[in-house]
Chain A
Amino acid sequence: MGELAVSNRVGDELVAIGLGSCIGLAMIDRDAGVAGLAHVVLPESQGKPGPAPKFADLAVPDMIGKMVAAGANKRRLEALMIGGARMFSVGASMDIGSRNADAVRSALRDAGISLKTEEVGGNRGRTARIIIGFDVSSQLAGGERTSLMSLTAGPGSVGRREAAKAV
Protein backbone atom coordinates (compact mmCIF):
# COMPACT_ATOMS: atom_id res chain seq x y z
CA MET A 1 0.00 0.00 0.00
CA GLY A 2 1.42 3.36 -1.04
CA GLU A 3 4.38 1.82 -2.85
CA LEU A 4 5.77 2.25 -6.36
CA ALA A 5 8.07 0.13 -8.50
CA VAL A 6 9.57 0.98 -11.91
CA SER A 7 11.62 -1.32 -14.10
CA ASN A 8 13.15 -1.48 -17.57
CA ARG A 9 14.39 -5.09 -17.46
CA VAL A 10 12.65 -7.61 -19.68
CA GLY A 11 11.02 -10.35 -17.61
CA ASP A 12 10.72 -8.30 -14.42
CA GLU A 13 7.34 -8.69 -12.80
CA LEU A 14 5.62 -5.85 -10.94
CA VAL A 15 2.62 -6.98 -8.88
CA ALA A 16 0.00 -5.38 -6.65
CA ILE A 17 -1.86 -8.27 -5.02
CA GLY A 18 -5.30 -7.83 -3.54
CA LEU A 19 -6.43 -4.41 -4.69
CA GLY A 20 -9.82 -3.62 -3.18
CA SER A 21 -10.68 0.06 -3.08
CA CYS A 22 -7.03 0.79 -3.90
CA ILE A 23 -5.88 1.38 -7.47
CA GLY A 24 -3.00 -0.28 -9.28
CA LEU A 25 -1.82 2.50 -11.60
CA ALA A 26 0.37 1.22 -14.42
CA MET A 27 2.46 3.48 -16.63
CA ILE A 28 4.15 2.22 -19.76
CA ASP A 29 6.59 3.44 -22.40
CA ARG A 30 6.34 0.59 -24.88
CA ASP A 31 9.14 1.84 -27.14
CA ALA A 32 11.64 2.24 -24.31
CA GLY A 33 10.49 -0.93 -22.51
CA VAL A 34 9.94 0.90 -19.22
CA ALA A 35 6.97 0.21 -16.94
CA GLY A 36 5.87 1.25 -13.49
CA LEU A 37 3.19 0.21 -11.04
CA ALA A 38 1.91 2.27 -8.09
CA HIS A 39 -0.43 1.13 -5.31
CA VAL A 40 -2.67 4.17 -4.76
CA VAL A 41 -4.69 4.14 -1.53
CA LEU A 42 -6.48 7.49 -1.32
CA PRO A 43 -7.56 10.20 -3.77
CA GLU A 44 -5.91 13.27 -2.25
CA SER A 45 -2.97 14.00 0.02
CA GLN A 46 -4.65 17.09 1.52
CA GLY A 47 -1.17 18.33 2.38
CA LYS A 48 -0.54 15.40 4.75
CA PRO A 49 2.87 13.71 4.83
CA GLY A 50 3.25 10.21 3.50
CA PRO A 51 4.70 8.31 0.58
CA ALA A 52 3.70 10.04 -2.69
CA PRO A 53 2.38 6.88 -4.42
CA LYS A 54 -0.25 6.54 -1.67
CA PHE A 55 -2.24 9.51 -3.01
CA ALA A 56 -3.57 9.78 -6.56
CA ASP A 57 -2.72 13.48 -6.87
CA LEU A 58 0.93 12.93 -5.89
CA ALA A 59 1.38 9.46 -7.39
CA VAL A 60 1.05 10.57 -11.02
CA PRO A 61 3.80 13.26 -11.07
CA ASP A 62 6.03 11.10 -8.82
CA MET A 63 5.67 8.18 -11.19
CA ILE A 64 6.35 10.26 -14.31
CA GLY A 65 9.62 11.44 -12.75
CA LYS A 66 10.72 7.89 -11.92
CA MET A 67 9.68 6.58 -15.36
CA VAL A 68 11.71 9.29 -17.10
CA ALA A 69 14.68 8.55 -14.82
CA ALA A 70 14.46 4.90 -15.93
CA GLY A 71 14.66 5.90 -19.60
CA ALA A 72 11.04 6.59 -20.56
CA ASN A 73 9.94 9.50 -22.72
CA LYS A 74 7.12 11.44 -21.09
CA ARG A 75 5.36 12.01 -24.43
CA ARG A 76 5.10 8.27 -25.04
CA LEU A 77 3.69 7.37 -21.62
CA GLU A 78 0.43 5.45 -21.51
CA ALA A 79 -1.52 4.55 -18.39
CA LEU A 80 -3.83 1.77 -17.24
CA MET A 81 -5.68 1.51 -13.96
CA ILE A 82 -6.93 -1.54 -12.13
CA GLY A 83 -8.91 -1.80 -8.87
CA GLY A 84 -11.16 0.78 -7.24
CA ALA A 85 -13.77 -1.75 -6.17
CA ARG A 86 -16.40 -1.27 -3.51
CA MET A 87 -15.75 -4.29 -1.29
CA PHE A 88 -18.48 -3.55 1.24
CA SER A 89 -21.72 -2.76 -0.55
CA VAL A 90 -23.16 -0.58 2.18
CA GLY A 91 -19.63 0.32 3.30
CA ALA A 92 -18.62 1.97 6.52
CA SER A 93 -18.97 5.38 4.96
CA MET A 94 -17.88 6.44 1.52
CA ASP A 95 -17.00 4.71 -1.70
CA ILE A 96 -13.23 5.27 -1.66
CA GLY A 97 -12.79 3.03 -4.72
CA SER A 98 -14.71 5.24 -7.14
CA ARG A 99 -13.21 8.41 -5.65
CA ASN A 100 -9.76 6.91 -6.16
CA ALA A 101 -10.59 6.14 -9.80
CA ASP A 102 -11.89 9.67 -10.40
CA ALA A 103 -8.79 11.19 -8.81
CA VAL A 104 -6.43 9.06 -10.90
CA ARG A 105 -8.30 9.99 -14.12
CA SER A 106 -8.10 13.65 -13.25
CA ALA A 107 -4.40 13.54 -12.28
CA LEU A 108 -3.56 11.77 -15.56
CA ARG A 109 -5.56 14.35 -17.53
CA ASP A 110 -3.70 17.18 -15.77
CA ALA A 111 -0.39 15.54 -16.64
CA GLY A 112 -1.43 15.00 -20.28
CA ILE A 113 -1.10 11.21 -20.11
CA SER A 114 -3.54 9.05 -21.99
CA LEU A 115 -5.48 6.46 -20.00
CA LYS A 116 -5.65 3.49 -22.37
CA THR A 117 -7.65 1.01 -20.33
CA GLU A 118 -9.33 0.77 -16.98
CA GLU A 119 -10.59 -2.27 -15.06
CA VAL A 120 -12.28 -0.59 -12.12
CA GLY A 121 -15.36 -0.75 -9.92
CA GLY A 122 -17.52 -3.71 -9.03
CA ASN A 123 -17.31 -5.44 -5.68
CA ARG A 124 -14.44 -7.88 -6.13
CA GLY A 125 -10.74 -7.52 -5.47
CA ARG A 126 -8.17 -7.64 -8.27
CA THR A 127 -4.47 -8.27 -8.69
CA ALA A 128 -2.60 -5.97 -11.10
CA ARG A 129 0.47 -7.41 -12.80
CA ILE A 130 3.00 -6.09 -15.29
CA ILE A 131 5.54 -8.42 -16.87
CA ILE A 132 8.04 -6.23 -18.72
CA GLY A 133 8.23 -7.28 -22.36
CA PHE A 134 5.08 -9.37 -22.05
CA ASP A 135 1.88 -7.70 -20.87
CA VAL A 136 -0.19 -5.81 -18.31
CA SER A 137 -2.96 -7.91 -16.77
CA SER A 138 -5.76 -7.81 -14.24
CA GLN A 139 -7.00 -10.81 -12.28
CA LEU A 140 -10.21 -10.89 -10.28
CA ALA A 141 -10.16 -12.72 -6.91
CA GLY A 142 -10.25 -16.44 -7.67
CA GLY A 143 -10.39 -15.76 -11.44
CA GLU A 144 -8.18 -15.97 -14.51
CA ARG A 145 -5.75 -13.29 -15.66
CA THR A 146 -7.12 -10.92 -18.29
CA SER A 147 -4.45 -9.36 -20.48
CA LEU A 148 -5.11 -5.64 -20.90
CA MET A 149 -2.13 -4.54 -22.98
CA SER A 150 0.56 -6.44 -24.81
CA LEU A 151 4.13 -5.25 -24.25
CA THR A 152 5.71 -7.57 -26.82
CA ALA A 153 6.31 -4.79 -29.39
CA GLY A 154 10.06 -5.28 -29.41
CA PRO A 155 12.00 -8.52 -29.98
CA GLY A 156 12.25 -9.12 -26.23
CA SER A 157 12.41 -12.56 -24.69
CA VAL A 158 9.67 -13.50 -22.26
CA GLY A 159 11.50 -14.65 -19.19
CA ARG A 160 9.64 -14.63 -15.90
CA ARG A 161 11.25 -13.49 -12.73
CA GLU A 162 9.83 -12.22 -9.47
CA ALA A 163 11.86 -9.08 -9.07
CA ALA A 164 9.76 -6.32 -7.64
CA LYS A 165 6.60 -6.14 -5.65
CA ALA A 166 4.30 -3.20 -5.20
CA VAL A 167 1.81 -4.75 -2.84
Chain B
Amino acid sequence: MTPRYTDMQLDALRELANIASGTAATSLSQLLGRDVDLNVPKAFSLPLADAVDATGDPEEIVTGVALALEGDIEGVVLLLVKSQGAATLCGLLGVEPNTEVGDSAMGEVGNILGAAYLMALSSMTGLSLLPSTPFVVTDMLGSIVASLLAETVGHGDTALVLDSELDITGEPCAISFLLLPNAGGVNDLLAPLGLSEATA
Protein backbone atom coordinates (compact mmCIF):
# COMPACT_ATOMS: atom_id res chain seq x y z
CA MET B 1 0.00 0.00 0.00
CA THR B 2 1.25 3.43 -0.89
CA PRO B 3 1.14 5.81 2.04
CA ARG B 4 -0.69 9.04 1.27
CA TYR B 5 -0.92 11.79 3.78
CA THR B 6 -3.95 13.71 4.91
CA ASP B 7 -4.09 17.51 4.91
CA MET B 8 -3.82 17.45 8.69
CA GLN B 9 -0.69 15.31 8.53
CA LEU B 10 0.86 17.57 5.88
CA ASP B 11 -0.01 20.63 8.02
CA ALA B 12 1.69 19.04 11.00
CA LEU B 13 4.78 18.20 8.94
CA ARG B 14 4.84 21.75 7.55
CA GLU B 15 4.71 23.11 11.09
CA LEU B 16 7.56 20.85 12.17
CA ALA B 17 9.56 22.07 9.17
CA ASN B 18 8.67 25.67 9.98
CA ILE B 19 9.96 25.51 13.53
CA ALA B 20 13.02 23.45 12.61
CA SER B 21 14.01 25.71 9.73
CA GLY B 22 13.46 28.74 11.98
CA THR B 23 16.14 27.32 14.25
CA ALA B 24 18.37 26.71 11.21
CA ALA B 25 17.79 30.29 10.01
CA THR B 26 18.93 31.58 13.40
CA SER B 27 22.17 29.62 13.20
CA LEU B 28 22.78 30.79 9.63
CA SER B 29 22.22 34.37 10.77
CA GLN B 30 24.71 33.91 13.62
CA LEU B 31 27.24 32.27 11.31
CA LEU B 32 27.13 35.07 8.74
CA GLY B 33 26.25 38.06 10.91
CA ARG B 34 23.39 38.81 8.50
CA ASP B 35 19.62 38.77 8.74
CA VAL B 36 18.01 35.70 7.28
CA ASP B 37 14.41 35.55 6.03
CA LEU B 38 12.47 32.32 6.24
CA ASN B 39 9.68 31.59 3.78
CA VAL B 40 6.71 29.46 4.79
CA PRO B 41 7.82 25.87 4.19
CA LYS B 42 6.09 23.57 1.74
CA ALA B 43 5.22 19.98 2.53
CA PHE B 44 4.30 17.90 -0.46
CA SER B 45 3.61 14.28 -1.12
CA LEU B 46 3.90 13.49 -4.81
CA PRO B 47 4.37 10.59 -7.21
CA LEU B 48 8.06 10.04 -7.84
CA ALA B 49 7.60 11.18 -11.46
CA ASP B 50 6.64 14.71 -10.29
CA ALA B 51 8.75 15.11 -7.16
CA VAL B 52 11.96 16.37 -8.77
CA ASP B 53 10.21 19.12 -10.75
CA ALA B 54 8.52 20.31 -7.55
CA THR B 55 11.92 21.07 -6.01
CA GLY B 56 13.15 23.24 -8.91
CA ASP B 57 14.36 23.28 -12.52
CA PRO B 58 15.94 19.83 -13.05
CA GLU B 59 18.50 21.17 -15.51
CA GLU B 60 19.81 24.02 -13.36
CA ILE B 61 23.33 23.59 -12.01
CA VAL B 62 23.19 23.81 -8.23
CA THR B 63 25.39 22.97 -5.29
CA GLY B 64 23.86 20.36 -3.02
CA VAL B 65 24.97 19.51 0.49
CA ALA B 66 23.53 16.17 1.57
CA LEU B 67 23.54 14.76 5.09
CA ALA B 68 22.24 11.25 5.63
CA LEU B 69 20.03 10.93 8.70
CA GLU B 70 21.21 8.54 11.34
CA GLY B 71 19.29 7.63 14.44
CA ASP B 72 15.59 6.84 14.86
CA ILE B 73 14.55 7.65 11.31
CA GLU B 74 16.24 7.28 7.95
CA GLY B 75 16.31 9.85 5.21
CA VAL B 76 18.36 12.71 3.88
CA VAL B 77 18.67 16.40 4.67
CA LEU B 78 19.60 18.32 1.53
CA LEU B 79 20.58 21.96 1.04
CA LEU B 80 20.38 23.27 -2.51
CA VAL B 81 21.95 26.58 -3.53
CA LYS B 82 22.05 28.00 -7.06
CA SER B 83 25.49 28.90 -8.37
CA GLN B 84 25.09 32.63 -7.72
CA GLY B 85 23.88 31.89 -4.19
CA ALA B 86 26.82 29.55 -3.58
CA ALA B 87 29.22 32.26 -4.77
CA THR B 88 27.54 34.77 -2.44
CA LEU B 89 27.66 32.40 0.50
CA CYS B 90 31.32 31.57 -0.11
CA GLY B 91 32.04 35.30 -0.46
CA LEU B 92 30.43 36.03 2.91
CA LEU B 93 32.57 33.28 4.42
CA GLY B 94 35.71 34.62 2.71
CA VAL B 95 36.43 31.57 0.52
CA GLU B 96 36.48 30.92 -3.23
CA PRO B 97 33.43 29.04 -4.57
CA ASN B 98 33.91 25.76 -6.48
CA THR B 99 37.28 25.05 -4.90
CA GLU B 100 38.15 22.42 -2.34
CA VAL B 101 38.04 25.06 0.39
CA GLY B 102 34.76 26.45 -0.99
CA ASP B 103 33.16 22.99 -0.99
CA SER B 104 34.44 22.39 2.50
CA ALA B 105 32.86 25.67 3.67
CA MET B 106 29.57 24.72 1.97
CA GLY B 107 29.72 21.37 3.76
CA GLU B 108 30.24 23.17 7.05
CA VAL B 109 27.24 25.42 6.39
CA GLY B 110 25.25 22.24 5.69
CA ASN B 111 26.52 20.73 8.91
CA ILE B 112 25.55 23.72 11.04
CA LEU B 113 22.12 24.21 9.45
CA GLY B 114 21.42 20.48 9.38
CA ALA B 115 22.37 20.05 13.03
CA ALA B 116 20.18 23.00 14.10
CA TYR B 117 17.23 21.75 12.03
CA LEU B 118 17.53 18.20 13.34
CA MET B 119 18.00 19.29 16.93
CA ALA B 120 14.75 21.25 16.76
CA LEU B 121 12.98 18.33 15.10
CA SER B 122 14.41 16.03 17.71
CA SER B 123 13.20 18.11 20.65
CA MET B 124 9.68 18.35 19.19
CA THR B 125 9.33 14.64 18.44
CA GLY B 126 11.57 13.00 21.02
CA LEU B 127 13.38 11.14 18.23
CA SER B 128 17.13 10.81 18.10
CA LEU B 129 18.20 12.42 14.80
CA LEU B 130 21.85 12.75 13.92
CA PRO B 131 23.36 13.99 10.66
CA SER B 132 26.18 12.10 8.95
CA THR B 133 29.24 13.84 7.47
CA PRO B 134 28.09 16.20 4.70
CA PHE B 135 28.62 15.38 1.01
CA VAL B 136 28.97 18.33 -1.32
CA VAL B 137 28.23 18.03 -5.03
CA THR B 138 27.70 20.57 -7.79
CA ASP B 139 25.58 19.21 -10.64
CA MET B 140 22.14 19.37 -12.24
CA LEU B 141 19.38 19.67 -9.62
CA GLY B 142 17.61 16.69 -11.21
CA SER B 143 20.64 14.41 -10.91
CA ILE B 144 21.14 15.28 -7.25
CA VAL B 145 17.51 15.12 -6.09
CA ALA B 146 16.59 12.03 -8.17
CA SER B 147 19.61 10.06 -6.94
CA LEU B 148 18.68 10.78 -3.33
CA LEU B 149 14.98 10.02 -3.88
CA ALA B 150 15.95 6.69 -5.47
CA GLU B 151 17.44 5.80 -2.08
CA THR B 152 14.87 7.33 0.26
CA VAL B 153 11.70 6.44 -1.65
CA GLY B 154 13.10 3.20 -3.07
CA HIS B 155 10.29 0.84 -3.96
CA GLY B 156 7.55 3.16 -2.72
CA ASP B 157 6.05 5.49 -5.29
CA THR B 158 5.28 8.58 -3.23
CA ALA B 159 7.95 11.06 -2.26
CA LEU B 160 7.40 13.24 0.78
CA VAL B 161 9.41 16.44 0.65
CA LEU B 162 9.56 19.19 3.29
CA ASP B 163 10.95 22.27 1.55
CA SER B 164 11.98 25.44 3.43
CA GLU B 165 13.66 28.44 1.86
CA LEU B 166 16.13 30.65 3.68
CA ASP B 167 17.06 34.00 2.10
CA ILE B 168 19.99 36.09 3.22
CA THR B 169 18.53 39.60 3.44
CA GLY B 170 19.84 41.92 0.74
CA GLU B 171 21.92 39.23 -0.98
CA PRO B 172 21.12 37.08 -4.04
CA CYS B 173 21.34 33.94 -1.98
CA ALA B 174 18.45 31.56 -1.39
CA ILE B 175 19.04 28.21 0.27
CA SER B 176 16.47 25.47 -0.26
CA PHE B 177 16.43 23.21 2.71
CA LEU B 178 14.87 19.82 2.01
CA LEU B 179 14.06 16.94 4.32
CA LEU B 180 13.53 13.70 2.42
CA PRO B 181 12.49 11.09 4.98
CA ASN B 182 12.03 7.51 3.88
CA ALA B 183 8.48 6.13 4.01
CA GLY B 184 8.76 4.65 7.50
CA GLY B 185 10.43 7.81 8.77
CA VAL B 186 7.39 9.94 8.00
CA ASN B 187 5.23 7.86 10.31
CA ASP B 188 7.85 8.13 13.03
CA LEU B 189 7.75 11.93 12.72
CA LEU B 190 3.95 11.95 12.92
CA ALA B 191 3.55 9.41 15.72
CA PRO B 192 4.60 11.73 18.60
CA LEU B 193 1.95 14.19 17.38
CA GLY B 194 -0.73 11.50 17.49
CA LEU B 195 -1.14 11.58 13.69
CA SER B 196 0.63 8.42 12.66
CA GLU B 197 -2.10 6.65 10.71
CA ALA B 198 -1.24 6.70 7.02
CA THR B 199 -4.45 6.63 5.04
CA ALA B 200 -4.90 4.81 1.76
Q: Could you mark each residue 8-52 of chain A with 1 if its beta carbon is under 8 Å from any beta carbon of chain B, else 0?
A: 000000000111111000000000000000000110011011110
Take A18-B141, A141-B143 as given contacts and tell me if A96 and B150 are in contact as well, using a CB distance cutoff of 8 Å: yes
Report how far A123 CA is from B140 CA in the complex, Å: 12
Tell me if B154 counts as interface (CB < 8 A to partner A). yes
Nearest chain B residue, comparing its CB with the CB of A85: B143
How many residues in A have their beta carbons less than 8 Å from beta carbons of B?
36
B58 at the interface (CB under 8 A from A): yes
State the Cβ distance, B1 to closest chain A Cβ, in Å.
Answer: 9
Any chain A CB within 8 A of the CB of B195?
A: no
At the interface, is chain A mostly helix, strand, loop or mixed? loop
A20 with B142: CB separation less than 8 A: yes
Contact assessment for B157 and A50 in the assembled complex, using a CB-CB cutoff below 8 Å: yes
Closest approach, in angstroms, between the C-beta of B50 and any C-beta of chain A?
9
Q: Are A142 and B150 in contact (CB under 8 A)?
A: no
Most buried by B among A1, A45, A97: A1
CB neighbours of A51 from chain B (8 A):
49, 157
- Does B72 count as interface, using CB distance less than 8 angstroms? no
Whether the Cβ atoms of B143 and A87 lie closer than 8 Å is yes
Q: Tell yes or no: B68 within 8 A of A by CB.
A: yes
Among candidates B135, B143, B149, residue contacting A126 with C-beta atoms closer than 8 Å: B143
A49-67 CB contact bits vs B (8 Å, 1 = yes)? 1110010000000000000
Is A20 touching B157 in the complex (CB atoms < 8 A)? Answer: no
Most buried by B among A48, A90, A125, A142: A125
Whole-angstrom CA separation of A125 from B58 in the bound complex = 11
- B140 near A89: Cβ-Cβ < 8 Å: no
| B141: A residues at CB distance < 8 A | 18
Contacts of A127 in B (CB 8 A): 59, 140
Tell me if B147 and A1 are in contact (CB < 8 A).
no
**Cross-chain contact of B150 among A17, A42, A89, A123 (Cβ < 8 A):** A42
Interface residues on B, range: 20 to 34
Instruction: Chain A residues near B157: list those with CB within 8 A.
Output: 2, 49-51, 54
Cα separation A150 to B144 with both chains bound (whole Å):
29
Tell whether, in the assembled complex, residue A20 and residue B61 are in contact, meaning their CB atoms are under 8 Å apart: no
* B51 & A1 in contact (Cβ 8 Å cutoff): yes
| Residue pair A88, B59 in contact (C-beta under 8 Å) | no
A21's nearest neighbour on chain B, judged by CB, is B147
User: For the complex, is B197 an interface residue (Cβ under 8 Å from A)?
Assistant: no
Does the CB pair B58–A167 fall under 8 Å? yes
Residue-wise interface mask of A (87-124) relative to B, using a CB-CB cutoff of 8 A (1 in contact, 0 not): 11111110011000000000000000000000000011
A3 CB-CB contact with B under 8 Å: yes
A124 touches B139 (CB 8 A): yes
Task: Give complex CA distance A97, B133 in Å.
Answer: 21
B57 vs chain A, min Cβ distance (A) = 9
Shortest CB-to-CB span from B182 to chain A, Å, is: 10
What are 5 A-B interface contacts by the 8 Å CB criterion? A22-B150, A45-B155, A54-B48, A89-B135, A167-B142
Across the A-B interface, the 8 shortest Cβ-Cβ residue pairs: A18-B142, A125-B143, A20-B147, A20-B143, A18-B140, A48-B155, A18-B58, A21-B147
